[in-house]
Structure 1
């Protein structure tokens, strides 16, 4: 299949899309000419429409390398072209560490998907310098962004990241913070001990989500605590959920996770 640059800028959208898809396929099979043309899309991104640029970046792993760092940084800072969402993802996947300051700025972008993408890209870059910005994103108006920030903070670890997650959990600013429970479950023994203590908190919502987090660890040692809550704690949260029901679900979740782990399957 021969793909030319003129097809990528053709006035017919179907021709353009078919051309970039063909290039991605060829590049995946090791075609150097296809890879070079895909790199041209990134380097000369202003010459192509956003869809073609985005479709190319969706498979940046088959043609991208550090030679694309400079044009990716240019596109990431280009507020007029409308390509920051996919550019952020590409910077993360290619390890463009120079993008960190721009990505930190993008966690406050007006568009939800761009903010979410920036959070995940910072996680890909293991950007510990972004902990403060990600901590602020735990108060984002979008649950998708809050969840992304929580996941990345858990991955980054470190005292500041973990304390940010714990503070958000204790503050109870948002309803049904399942993403915080999942993030805290991955934060290690010190936080797990705090979660056990939280199962005796005065607030039933704290107890409910602490139980959920303990179940998400998949650790058998927390089952006695969860079993006690399941049997005895019939209080309800502001959203109408029963702590006992949450604990029962947490018990099932814990056992499923251990079964998958013991059988060599990937974690849920």
Structure 2
């Protein structure tokens, strides 16, 4: 994993305000003076009520949306647009249906102009292997299950070796068994430092999921959205959902949400 100074944030949002322009010309205020940090080498969960702007927050972290006011810093420098060192996985896998699986993963290397096509293919194959997809390189998205498509999306997000991985409810559209399997595989890769990233931010409505996998959980309020509280999860890994301590953290987060 990459590292930085103990007091240095990988990503910092300072006094962020953001609003959407409505059809009649009015503006809907989403964030009002929001500040938070994502530190080096941590797994951060984000929870909040529906409609509070969790997906919007991730898009600002990715440089895809610009705040109305305030500043976003990545590695100490202003983030003014998309940065190749930040990757994002969406709720629905955004794969090109006319590309094979390996070609979809290679799209994550589109800015790596110094690499040959063969080198890009080798890197893509490495991450397909990591995601358990060797043998499906020449398949097309329509031939894969939902869980396999999400594995492809994760492989594409990782292939460029980003510093920060943003995940917007990546398991919510999967069946329960597939979601559990993929989440645990991701956690194991993270804990074993097999992933080429420093930090992960995961948005989820599943509070138990966040407690199971996160180092800390940032809880957001209703609109206009601010930070209601931050819960540091001080439990040994792997974590058991059957322990009393586990559900004490779950209750803390639900209390902040209520």
Report the TM-score when normalising by structure 1.
0.27
Larger strand fraction of residues: 2
**Which protein is bigger by CA-based radius of gyration?**
1
Higher helix share: 1
TM-score (norm 2): 0.27
